[in-house]
Amino acid sequence: MPKKNFNLSDEDLKCSCKGHNLDKLLQPSILTILAEQNAHGYMIIQELERRNALEEEKVDNTGVYRTLKTLEDRGMVKFEWVTDEAGPAKKSYMITEQGIECLKNWVNTLQMYHKKIDRIIADAKNALKKY
């Protein structure tokens, strides 16, 4: 069987160098939304898409609910069932004090990464000047 030759332009290749794998930023994005307001899962998905949080990638609905479950298991969010006459009961998620602390840690970590990334960009641009 011939070996497939991958180029960075292949549409089916989800390379980190092309901005993929940003789903790891889903946690602080969800916590930020819940720090602003309580919301049910679909509202969170809509807000992520509105903010274009994952750039050009479509929000992975299953990933959002999986992240919400993880955040819930870690005590960073909680939910209550909300019923309204227009439809079935929905989980309304809210951030907890532990979630607020986690979001503060994310802010510090992302600021540190931002500085490191700026250095990597500057070094890479410098290195690429000869090409």
DSSP state of 76: S
Please state the φ and ψ torsions of residue 2, each to the nearest 5 degrees: -70, 140
Please report the pLDDT score of residue 3 as a whole number.
Answer: 46
Q: CB neighbours of 16 closer than 8 A, spacing ≥ 6?
A: none
Between CA 43 and CA 29 the distance in angstroms is: 13
Please report the pLDDT score of residue 25 as a whole number.
Answer: 85
- Residues 47 and 39 sit within 8 Å (Cβ to Cβ): yes
Residues 15-52: pLDDT tens digits? Answer: 556 655 556 789 999 999 999 999 999 999 999 988 87
Please report the pLDDT score of residue 12 as a whole number.
Answer: 52
Please report the pLDDT score of residue 8 as a whole number.
Answer: 47
Nearest to 72 by CA among 6, 32, 27, 122: 27
Rounded to 10°, the helix 61-73/26-36 angle is 70
Q: CB neighbours of 100 closer than 8 A, spacing ≥ 6?
A: 35
- The tokens describing 64, both together, are 């959002």
Q: Mark the ranges of the chain whose per-residue pLDDT is less than 50.
A: 1-6, 8
> Please, which residues bridge with residue 121 across strands?
none
One CATH from 3.40.50.880, 2.60.40.1260, 3.40.50.1110, 1.10.10.10 for 20-128: 1.10.10.10
Domain spans in the chain, listed from the N-terminal domain onward: 20-128
Please report the pLDDT score of residue 18 as a whole number.
Answer: 60
